[in-house]
Chain A
Amino acid sequence: MSAVTGQRLRTATGRAWVPAVQLGLLLVLLGAWQLAVSTRSISVFFFGSPAGTWRELYGWIRHGTVQGSLWQQAWVTLQETLIGFGVGVACGVLAGLALGRITWLARVFTLYVGTLNAVPRIVLGSVFVIWFGLGMASKVALAIVLVFFTVFFNSFQGARDVDANVIANARLLGAGRWSVFRHVVLPSTFSWIIASLRVAFGLAITGAVVGELIGATQGLGLLIAQSQANIDPDGVYAGLVVTTVLAVVAEGFITLLERRLLRWKPRRQTPAAAV
């Protein structure tokens, strides 16, 4: 145990320079961009600038956007994302488990799921705006569709991948159908599902923002669309920055959840740690 702790400490101190280099690289890139704009090597009208983006962002935070306060817009997008994510994950997990464990269901529905999966799903955004209008419902629907397929395929694969030996062991130890499901199929499938959540959350945000780009009355996507219409690249970047912050915070929460639920798994050895 102490050897393991020792190794972790060493890799931690050994890696302290990494964030510094990462930050430095970012500053160099932004600096080069700002310099190129200041020296008129590239057109600030089309390409914007880091300083302009910051001014725009600061303006939104201090004085609000044309739509209302920035927090209001972010909250709308976040709600669409979270509802879409929640419903999409729930449906994807249920459908994946059902088709993964019940052979005749899989035989009937695999064809449908495969065909639906082949439809370019972003286009459904246009359909949903017609069906559900410019409000939140159409964005939530798009997010659900995007999330569903990713989570579905993972939980389907996971549910089929359950070790037959472990199931046999559970049965011989006295587990009935429900106990086998609860104590073997679910936990085994969980590691697959959790692996898909990260991607799924990114898709939920994509669904919400793209839905807003297509047609909306509120949200970060609308801010981006309006900036685009005004040929205001700094506004587009500012919208992207806020969206990215949301995504990064959510990613942090998912990592915490992963740690908690997958405690039983050996820690993934990153290449850096293996050296």
Chain B
Amino acid sequence: MRASAVSPETPPAPTGPPLLGLRALTKRFTDPAGRERTVVADFELEVAPGEFCVLIGPSGCGKSTVLSMVAGLEQPSAGEVLVDKVPLAGTDPRTGFVFQQDAVFPWKTVLANVAAGPRFRGVGRREAARQAGDWITRVGLEGFEQHYPHQLSGGMRKRVALAQTFVNRPGLLLMDEPFSALDAQTRQIMAGELLALWESLGASVLFVTHDLEEAIALADRVVVLTARPAAVKREFVIDLPRPRAPREIRFLPRFAQLHEEIWTALSDEVHTAYAQATAAG
């Protein structure tokens, strides 16, 4: 994989963003009492090359588990993940992952954090630092290269995470509620910046959230999941124009219409999940 040696300004890797397929993906966990619990059941999904696909479902339904399997971090109990029709085995160098919690390296400076990916992939120190510098500028963190993560705000740390992932030029971008820890204003700003970066990067995206407005603002397609065990309930094509500004798009009548439709499908599952959670607690 020498794709990472390419500078951020050059067009995407020659292969282009991959086609992602989830086939009857299933995950069971054994809880401490020794009982088996199915968290993801027969999950079927296809993400077209370059498509921005958003999974939305109630908390605890199994969204993170789906993403972990797609990332190759967790082994499915049954079914498979296909990347460009080839079954996935372990982590894939084309995959980039932005975590829900902070996962940047607290002991590295911003520059070293962003340069880490290229360095791991065998790029020389100088070249890695140059690429990292470019991406730090693109996410608006110029001047903070020598800061440590604890010296930054939550939004700035998220920008570090974005730059750290994007510097590897992932063809497949997985994002697990990346902005859920941020305040509402910062979340909107970050969503806008993510769209701009994605438009220049051209990756296939699988984005998880439980925030419906965020889902509609970002997605080409919103996939509503059932309460645990997670499976696809319904899909909605978001036919809003691009390029989008997530802050303004909320005021379009079509946005309100989509919001109403999707919420009808989602609310049943939210109620089921709430009942599950209160029964368990």
Binding site for B on A (CB under 8 A): 163, 165-166, 168-176, 179, 183-184, 187-188, 190, 263-266
Q: Shortest beta-carbon distance, A177 to chain B, in Å?
A: 11
B117–A174 touching, CB < 8 Å:
yes
Which of A175, A184, A264, A266 is most buried by chain B, counting CB atoms within 10 A of its CB? A264
Which of A168, A169, A175, A263 is most buried by chain B, counting CB atoms within 10 A of its CB? A169
Give chain B residues whose Cβ lies under 8 Å from the Cβ of A170: 105, 116, 120
Q: B94-102, B222-230, B236-244: which lies at the A interface?
A: B94-102
Give chain B residues whose Cβ lies under 8 Å from the Cβ of A179: 120
A165–B103 touching, CB < 8 Å:
yes
How far does the alpha carbon of A165 sit from the alpha carbon of B103 in the complex, in Å? Answer: 6
Interface size of B in residues (CB-CB distance below 8 Å): 29
Q: Shortest beta-carbon distance, B243 to chain A, in Å?
A: 28
B103–A176 touching, CB < 8 Å:
no
How far does the alpha carbon of A265 sit from the alpha carbon of B105 in the complex, in Å? Answer: 11
How far does the alpha carbon of A176 sit from the alpha carbon of B122 in the complex, in Å? Answer: 11
B73–A168 touching, CB < 8 Å:
yes
Which A residue's beta carbon lies closest to that of B1? Answer: A174
A264–B107 touching, CB < 8 Å:
yes
User: Which B68-82 residues have C-beta < 8 A from chain A?
Assistant: 71, 73
Which of A172, A176, A183, A188 is most buried by chain B, counting CB atoms within 10 A of its CB? A172
Whether B204 sits at the interface, judged by CB under 8 Å, is: no
Whether B26 sits at the interface, judged by CB under 8 Å, is: no
Q: Shortest beta-carbon distance, B201 to chain A, in Å?
A: 16
Contact flags B188-231 to A (C-beta < 8 A → 1, else 0): 00000000000000000000000000000000000000000000
Give chain A residues whose Cβ lies under 8 Å from the Cβ of B106: 264-265
Give chain B residues whose Cβ lies under 8 Å from the Cβ of A266: 150
B116–A171 touching, CB < 8 Å:
no
Give chain A residues whose Cβ lies under 8 Å from the Cβ of B104: 166, 169
Give chain B residues whose Cβ lies under 8 Å from the Cβ of A165: 99, 101-103
Give chain B residues whose Cβ lies under 8 Å from the Cβ of A175: 116, 120
Cβ-closest 9 pairs across A and B: A174-B120, A169-B103, A173-B117, A187-B107, A264-B107, A174-B121, A165-B103, A175-B120, A172-B97
Q: Shortest beta-carbon distance, B107 to chain A, in Å?
A: 4
Q: A174-B120, A264-B148, A264-B150 are in contact. Are A188 and B164 (CB under 8 A)?
A: no
How far does the alpha carbon of A128 sit from the alpha carbon of B1 in the complex, in Å? Answer: 56
Give chain B residues whose Cβ lies under 8 Å from the Cβ of A183: 105, 108, 116, 120
Give chain A residues whose Cβ lies under 8 Å from the Cβ of B99: 165, 168-169
How far does the alpha carbon of A202 sit from the alpha carbon of B91 in the complex, in Å? Answer: 46
Give chain A residues whose Cβ lies under 8 Å from the Cβ of B121: 174
B108–A264 touching, CB < 8 Å:
yes
Contact flags B165-176 to A (C-beta < 8 A → 1, else 0): 100100000000
B97–A168 touching, CB < 8 Å:
yes
Give chain B residues whose Cβ lies under 8 Å from the Cβ of A166: 103-105
Which A residue's beta carbon lies closest to that of B121? Answer: A174
Give chain B residues whose Cβ lies under 8 Å from the Cβ of A184: 105
User: Which B1-57 residues have C-beta < 8 A from chain A?
Assistant: 1, 4
Give chain B residues whose Cβ lies under 8 Å from the Cβ of A168: 71, 73, 97, 99, 103
Q: Shortest beta-carbon distance, B268 to chain A, in Å?
A: 32
Give chain A residues whose Cβ lies under 8 Å from the Cβ of B102: 165
Give chain B residues whose Cβ lies under 8 Å from the Cβ of A188: 107
Q: Shortest beta-carbon distance, B234 to chain A, in Å?
A: 30
Whether B93 sits at the interface, judged by CB under 8 Å, is: yes
How far does the alpha carbon of A182 sit from the alpha carbon of B164 in the complex, in Å? Answer: 18
How far does the alpha carbon of A266 sit from the alpha carbon of B117 in the complex, in Å? Answer: 25
Q: Shortest beta-carbon distance, B129 to chain A, in Å?
A: 15
Give chain A residues whose Cβ lies under 8 Å from the Cβ of B101: 165
Q: Shortest beta-carbon distance, A253 to chain B, in Å?
A: 22
B148–A171 touching, CB < 8 Å:
no
How far does the alpha carbon of A118 sit from the alpha carbon of B103 in the complex, in Å? Answer: 38
Q: Shortest beta-carbon distance, B237 to chain A, in Å?
A: 29
